[in-house]
Structure 1
Amino acid sequence: MSDHDYATLVREDRVHTSLYRDGTIFDEEMDRIFKNTWVWVAHESDVPVKNSFKTSWVGREPVIVTRDREMKVNVLLNRCRHRAASVCEKKKGKASVFVCPYHGWSYDPDGTLRKVPHAAGYPEDFDKSEFPLISLRVETYQGMIFATFNNDIEPLVDYLGPARKWMDLFMKQGAGYGVKTLGEHKFRFPGNWKIQLENTTDAYHFPIVHKTFLDSLDAETENVFDVLGQGGWVEDLGNGHSVMVMIPDLIDLEDNLDAPIPDRFAELAQELRDEGHDDATVRKVVRAVGGSGFNLNLFPNVACSMAFFRVLRPVTVEETEIMHVAIGMDGGPAAGNRERLRLHEHFQGPMGFGTPDDAEGWERVQRGAHAGEDLWIMLNRGVDAPAGVAEPGHNAGDVSAETGMRAAYQQWKRMMTA
């Protein structure tokens, strides 16, 4: 399989194991996919005021997401135009100017080259306007900031397509206050980025891998997380995007707000009432704290996963960085955001009951992928989705189906053969 005929490496129900192992394929993915499509880089709340910034990545290329003096969002390559040193190493903050630590070239938050020390050493026709930080095309939807190297790509709203409906629903976790990031943590695992891409729409593993998490819950909450037994489904949303609905009753957080408040949130509800919030606000906040009942996978690098953002960054063919971003209510009750962080820590955190088990599974996939030379990764699981749940014309399967993975790999195939 060394000729890299990508059309033959992805079939309808399986992909070749070389997609996990071949460094040449990985290098091609960085060019054909990550430099040619919309890639998530930050949330608008990460750069809330003028001169605020956050460092991020587009594939393997480091970038700075900035909010300039005009409040415009920019995504700039983190590379001085002189001798290529990075001009920003902080994760986030505020800066009215970025100064290269090597030779002192300085840049405004919109990328404009502001000053060149000892400029007399350059020819008279040296024009600073010709050497700004390289700026990528940027568009946003629902506070999510995406960037691309491809100036000819379709608008972001068209690329997202039917996924926009699910982004709208996911952002109802702001409970009317709006959504903001509360913090993030990163880790790496020794495995290919596509292993993690598959995981976000994989409910099949949940009762097996996450038995420890389920055992840590009270009976009422454990029943909520019976993800294989609640009539959920997985739906192909086009362009490699997919949604996995695990708890259909929690698709729209504004539905059925008169339902009894779960016992696990009774203390929070009382605390909110004691703070003077009316019953309608209490119910919206409590419902938002629990998160949405679905995972939305946006190809190629971000998921809106129940109650947080999961971002993947390819490092090498056999190493991937994962960033979990906790989200909460922008201006909402502190008690609600506090409870969201505790729930995030319980599953996603480094000492949580969920993510460490996931990471062990991903590592084992990569290790096992080195056994056998001409074997395939099977993606053929799935019976029909419950009647009437998916949009007409969309491929869909029951909640344990591998529909989302098949959707992502078909997009991979389209981009790698374009």
Structure 2
Amino acid sequence: MTENASVPADFAESDRVAARLYTDPEIFEREMTQIFERSWVWVAHESELAQPGNFKSTYVGRQPVIVTRDRKGTLHTMLNRCRHRGASLCEKPSGKANGFTCPYHAWSYGLDGKLRGIPYPDGYEGVLEKGELSLKKLRTESYGGMIFATFAEDGESLEDFLGDAKLWIDRFMKQGGGYPIKVLGKHQFTFRGNWKIQLENTTDGYHFPIVHRSWMASVDAETADMMSFMTDPSAITHALGNGHSVMQMVPEHSDLDVDDGTEPLQARFDHVVAKLSKTLDEAQVRKVVRAMHGTGFNLNLFPNVSMSAAFFRVLRPISVNETLIEHVAIGPDGPPGLDVVNRERMRIHEHFQGPFGFGTPDDAEGWDRVQRGAHGGPDLPILVNRGLAREKASPEGWPTSHVTDETGMRAAYAQWKEMMGDD
């Protein structure tokens, strides 16, 4: 690796990357245009836009957008920027509306982004055509309830971009226990580090028993045993192509439809079983309760979202040394009797991912430390070579190694290198 490399892509190799990938503002700026404005970026789950008129404000990279469902049910993603003088149209994180009106000069737009009205239009006679001033729209497609948007008008389809990750999205959505998945709630925080540090974390099984000792000590013996995957040879990570990867921590829960009926339900959920048994049959109860902890894997979708066991983790780059993280709790969307399930899932989520939980604060401390340390010895590389010598192809052809290895990181940086070298 040479510090005189001509393009940022030269700073990433198959087993290491330069520390400046975390600290160089010029590299960060290029990432915003060559990765976040060319990739499919996750913007919403369909349950957040369940009805016509629903909207969500979010970001694609650093550009503010509004995601909407119009009256015909079509999904749209549009820049949150009035075409007149550039003011933001919507400051609410979500809601329901008939359209959007700029608070500065009252230009109004429909849910599909079309310019509907202009106050005092006589001043624009001969100088403005309303049809030419719709909100700038991004291509928007969804798969498995996950909505993505991209600025790349002529790029590959979302399904092609997701590729073999689609199988794992399908499996992740089975945790509804036969019911669809919906968003239950969310919280967000920032950490003082580069976005790629968090991208690495979701398929980093190596850190788990070290960073999360306090969480392991706080849970019941059955949960702790389930998450003791460090020496389990069946716990593996696959690189799925296009920067995506999946880390199987609890392989027997990778496909929740596969159940031989011998795994006992945890005693901690006896009260859930008792309540569900009043309205569901025994098989349905088992299916829902067995999925209480979510799936047995973390799926990383390059560049900005992971489907992590039982929640979504979304990253948003703010600057080279600041990243916003949003944790989205999910649960089954079914009859009222499932409320007990979703309450329990929220408590599980809070215990690990919550701001006062036993997991996320420890993770964030580690991410902060990586950023601080990266400024020391800038010529020293960041290593992503664990398990490289034992990495093999799975029957599907996926590069595969142990769950503690850095296969997922190498996959992400291979995609990063490809996109950053494409001028």
Secondary structure of the structure 2 residue equivalent to 1:208: helix
> After superposition, what is the alpha-carbon deviation per residue over 1:337-373, rounded to whole angstroms, capped at 9, x for unaligned?
1111111001001111100000000000000011012
1:393 corresponds in structure 2 to: 397
> After superposition, what is the alpha-carbon deviation per residue over 1:254-285, rounded to whole angstroms, capped at 9, x for unaligned?
21162321222222112211x32110110111
The CA distance in 1 between the partners of 2:351 and 2:71, in whole Å, is: 39
1:408 corresponds in structure 2 to: 412
The CA distance in 2 between the partners of 1:370 and 1:92, in whole Å, is: 38
Secondary structure of the structure 1 residue equivalent to 2:205: coil
Contact 2:391 2:400 in 1 (8 A): no
2:110 corresponds in structure 1 to: 108
- TM-superposed CA distance for 1:288, in Å, is 1.9
Relative to the length of structure 2, the TM-score reads 0.96
> Does 1:76 find its partner at 2:81?
no
Equivalent residue for 1:268, pick from 265, 272, 276 = 272
Bigger shift: residues 376-385 or 48-57:
376-385
| Pair 1:87–1:391, CA change in 2 (3 A) | farther
Contact 1:384 1:398 in 2 (8 A): no
> After superposition, what is the alpha-carbon deviation per residue over 1:144-176, rounded to whole angstroms, capped at 9, x for unaligned?
000000011111111101000000000001111
1:205 corresponds in structure 2 to: 207
Cα RMSD for the two superposed structures: 1.4
The CA distance in 2 between the partners of 1:95 and 1:391, in whole Å, is: 49
Equivalent residue for 1:370, pick from 364, 375, 398 = 375
Q: How does 1:282-321 map to 2 (within 5 A)?
A: 282-321=285-324
Q: Which runs of 5+ in 2 are unaligned?
A: none
1:357 corresponds in structure 2 to: 362
1:253 corresponds in structure 2 to: 256
Secondary structure of the structure 2 residue equivalent to 1:191: coil
The CA distance in 2 between the partners of 1:387 and 1:408, in whole Å, is: 17
| Pair 1:386–1:80, CA change in 2 (3 A) | closer
1:323 corresponds in structure 2 to: 326
| Pair 1:387–1:268, CA change in 2 (3 A) | farther
The CA distance in 1 between the partners of 2:5 and 2:132, in whole Å, is: 41
Secondary structure of the structure 1 residue equivalent to 2:270: helix
| Pair 1:102–1:240, CA change in 2 (3 A) | same
Contact 2:81 2:88 in 1 (8 A): yes
Secondary structure of the structure 2 residue equivalent to 1:81: coil
The CA distance in 2 between the partners of 1:39 and 1:31, in whole Å, is: 13
The CA distance in 2 between the partners of 1:272 and 1:229, in whole Å, is: 36
Contact 2:22 2:194 in 1 (8 A): yes
2:13 corresponds in structure 1 to: 11
Contact 1:233 1:386 in 2 (8 A): no
The CA distance in 2 between the partners of 1:34 and 1:156, in whole Å, is: 14
The CA distance in 1 between the partners of 2:117 and 2:197, in whole Å, is: 45
The CA distance in 1 between the partners of 2:175 and 2:6, in whole Å, is: 43
Which amino acid in the other structure matches residue 403 of structure 1? T
Equivalent residue for 2:174, pick from 172, 175, 189 = 172
The CA distance in 2 between the partners of 1:349 and 1:248, in whole Å, is: 25
The CA distance in 2 between the partners of 1:9 and 1:396, in whole Å, is: 24
> After superposition, what is the alpha-carbon deviation per residue over 1:57-83, rounded to whole angstroms, capped at 9, x for unaligned?
100000000000111000010000000
The CA distance in 1 between the partners of 2:328 and 2:133, in whole Å, is: 34
1:335 corresponds in structure 2 to: 340
Secondary structure of the structure 2 residue equivalent to 1:34: coil
The CA distance in 1 between the partners of 2:116 and 2:53, in whole Å, is: 15
- TM-superposed CA distance for 1:391, in Å, is 3.8
Secondary structure of the structure 1 residue equivalent to 2:291: helix
Secondary structure of the structure 2 residue equivalent to 1:70: coil
Secondary structure of the structure 1 residue equivalent to 2:298: strand
Relative to the length of structure 1, the TM-score reads 0.97
Secondary structure of the structure 2 residue equivalent to 1:337: helix
Contact 2:10 2:417 in 1 (8 A): no
The CA distance in 2 between the partners of 1:178 and 1:213, in whole Å, is: 29
Contact 1:235 1:394 in 2 (8 A): yes
Which amino acid in the other structure matches residue 103 of structure 1? H
Equivalent residue for 1:55, pick from 57, 63, 82 = 57
> After superposition, what is the alpha-carbon deviation per residue over 1:282-312, rounded to whole angstroms, capped at 9, x for unaligned?
0111012221000000000000000000000
The CA distance in 1 between the partners of 2:411 and 2:418, in whole Å, is: 11
- TM-superposed CA distance for 1:411, in Å, is 0.3
The CA distance in 2 between the partners of 1:9 and 1:383, in whole Å, is: 19
1:129 corresponds in structure 2 to: 131
Secondary structure of the structure 1 residue equivalent to 2:382: strand
> After superposition, what is the alpha-carbon deviation per residue over 1:191-238, rounded to whole angstroms, capped at 9, x for unaligned?
000000000000000000000000001112110110213320011100
